Amino acid sequence: MRNHSDLQAMNERSLAQQSNVRRATFSPGETKELRPFSIWEICTFMFDVPADTLRKKLADDPTLPQGETEEDGRQRWFTLEEINELRRRVRFRGKTLLPKRPKGRAIRVAVSNFKGGVGKTVVAQHLANAAALDGYRVLCVDFDPQATLTHSMGIVEVKEWNTVWGIMCRDLCRESDRITETYDDPDDCPYPSSDELPQDVQEIGAQRFMDFIQPTCWPTIDIIPSCANAAFVEFASAQYRALHKAWSFFGCVSRYLDELPDDQYDIIIFDCPPAIGYQSLNAAFAADILYIPSGPGYWEYDSTTSFLGQLGDALADISEGFGPLAKDAGLTLPKEFMDVRVLMTRFEVTNPLHQAMSEAFQNVFGADVCRNPIEMTRAVEQSGRFQNSVYEQDYRQMTRETWKRARQSFDRAYGEFRDTLMKSWSENAERKEIDQ
Ligand SMILES: Nc1ncnc2c1ncn2[C@@H]1O[C@H](COP(=O)(O)OP(=O)(O)O)[C@@H](O)[C@H]1O
Ligand SMILES: [Mg+2]
């Protein structure tokens, strides 16, 4: 028979060996760096101009970033910072290269579904990378303690109090005090104030706003990371809820992001865990748009169906239970998404089963299904230890056709994503103008 002491002993043995295993398999010393981009890529996939036109601009103005030329002198490579400087300073036929940016705060998208392995993280990572290459400033929030997105952004050392868990503790402290202050006599308040909360909650909750946001290997992508120990948040949050019954536990991240200055980021992308729990409800609540990736198999259809039902039920329960409390807590109930999109992933065009499933999705969800699925591609399977996205991989390390096909599949999905965002974003900006 084995009980909890055996598991604890196994944990201790594993912890004792952790640094050896890490050195042998993970190379934490090697930091992930973003590669530069060639003139061919910049002209074909980003600026949409002939390479000679860009070369001429660069020759005419030597103060523009000139990139690094390869030793054989054939190809020039630019960092993303240089590309963004070109965006700010160069125009082609009077047209700016800067991406369209409606006024108001960043638009927030939750990539979420029930099932593990459907490609949520791959989708979140590629949309974030594509948006950054398009000139946008992106914040990612990793809600999944598996922390795949965090690792893929080059971050390996994360303390659990710097994750969404920390944001929830900070929110509980702030909300406790706000609620207590609404009573003329604080002693009449039936709920605890922050100094009556457990010591660890108070300590974690005392962190500053910026303590949660970390830079990544991309100059224009930041992340609120996750780590394995953050899995504890699901367990801890249930206890916190019992401590403070009026705490709107699902609105912590929404309130946190509301503190961000409007112009600090353009797009905020959430990678969600494969479950409905405290973290994924916080993600759903903070999101303007829900992006639901689903693979092309029957079980994925089945789990997408359950996900929709359970998220719907959870949001309905919250609306009923928290209605009167919501407004003062900075939330609007019922939760309204500006858009909900279903995105088919790991799709093989020539596979008749995938075709059939794609048709089924279209029949059931109609216009809510993205027109451009993410194709199954070897380029993603070969992402390596650093979990490089197709955008991060150097196309010279594989057949250029394989890379180009993969990139174009993600680019098409990103183009549609940007159109969806732009629609909601412009509506948000208009509404803000009317309100003012
Ligand atoms: N478009 C794709 N082509 C090939 N492999 C993919 C693709 N999308 C995801 N995968 C693979 O499927 C696995 C699960 O993907 P991931 O994004 O981590 O799923 P989730 O976040 O939903 O658990 C990963 O090993 C990933 O490399
Ligand atoms: Mg994932």
How would residue 383 be classed by pLDDT, with cut points 50, 70 and 90? confident
Range of the domain at 87: 37-96
- On the question of pLDDT at 434 being above 90, the answer is no
Residue 397 clears pLDDT 90, i.e. is over it:
no
160 and 130 in a single domain? The answer is: yes
pLDDT mean across residues, the chain: 92
Which of 61-70, 148-157, 391-400, 424-433 is predicted least confidently? 424-433
Same domain, 146 and 287: yes
Residues 173 and 76 in one domain: no
Whole-number Å distance, alpha carbon 88 to ligand 1 midpoint, is 35
pLDDT at position 436: 67
Alpha-carbon distance of 373 to 355, in angstroms, equals 11
Residue 1 covered by a domain: no
pLDDT of residue 57: 96
Are the beta carbons of 135 and 99 closer than 8 angstroms? yes
End residue of a domain, out of 96, 120, 147: 96
Give the number of the atom of ligand 1 that is nearest the alpha carbon of residue 122.
17
Q: What's residue 382's pLDDT?
A: 77
**Residue to mutate, 111, 122, 374, 388, ligand 1, most ligand atoms under 8 Å from C-beta:** 122
Res. 345: pLDDT tops 70: yes
Work out the average pLDDT over 62-83. 91
* Residue 348 in domain: yes
Stretch 177-188: mean pLDDT: 93
Per-residue pLDDT, averaged over 70-94, amounts to 92
Where is 435: in which H helix or E strand? helix 400-435
pLDDT the model gives residue 11: 84
pLDDT reported for residue 357: 93
Distance 149 CA to ligand 1 centre (A): 11
Torsion on CA atoms 399, 402, 404, 408, rounded to nearest 10: -170
Nearest ligand to the CA atom of 296: 1
Asked whether residue 67 is domain-assigned, the answer is yes
Give me the count of residues in the chain: 436
- Say if residues 353 and 286 touch (Cβ distance below 8 Å): no
Three-class SS state of 337: coil
Question: Which pair of structure tokens corresponds to residue 70?
Answer: 């390869």
State the pLDDT at residue 19: 73
181 and 86 in a common domain: no
Please check whether residues 189 and 53 belong to one and the same domain. no
253 and 123 within one domain: yes
Q: Does residue 335 fall inside a structural domain?
A: yes
CA atoms within 13 A on the CB side of 261: 4
Q: In total, how many domains does the chain have?
A: 2
**128 and 64 housed in the same domain:** no
| Both tokens assigned to 432 | 């803000």
Cβ(125)–Cβ(111) below 8 Å: no
Q: Grade residue 26 by pLDDT with cuts at 50, 70 and 90.
A: low
Model confidence at 366, pLDDT cuts 50, 70, 90, reads very high
What are phi and psi for residue 372, nearest 5 degrees? Answer: -110, 105
Specify the pLDDT at position 27.
60
The CA 144 to ligand 2 mean position distance, Å, reads 7
Residue 71 shares a structural domain with residue 145:
no
Whichever domain contains 197, its CATH number is 3.40.50.300
- Residues of the chain by 3-state class (helix, strand, coil), percent to 5: 55, 10, 35
pLDDT at 343 over 80: yes
Q: Which atom of ligand 1 is nearest to the CA of 347?
A: 1
Confidence of residue 387 (pLDDT cuts 50, 70, 90): confident
Q: Which amino acid is at 144?
A: D
290 with 348, same domain: the answer is yes
- In this structure, which long-range contacts are made by residues 25-30, counting pairs with CB atoms below 8 Å and at least 24 apart in sequence? 26/156, 26/385, 27/385, 28/156, 28/157
Q: What is the mean pLDDT of residues 318-328?
A: 88
Contact 180, 193 (CB under 8 A): yes
| 129/148 same-domain check | yes
pLDDT in tens, 259-289: 999 999 999 999 999 988 999 999 999 999 9
Whether residues 427 and 404 share a domain: the answer is yes
Maximum mean pLDDT: which of 26-40, 374-388, 391-405: 391-405
User: Whose atoms come closest to the Cα of 115: which ligand?
Assistant: 1
Q: What is the pTM of this model?
A: 0.94
Query: Does one domain contain both 210 and 155?
Result: yes
- Single-letter amino acid, residue 308: L
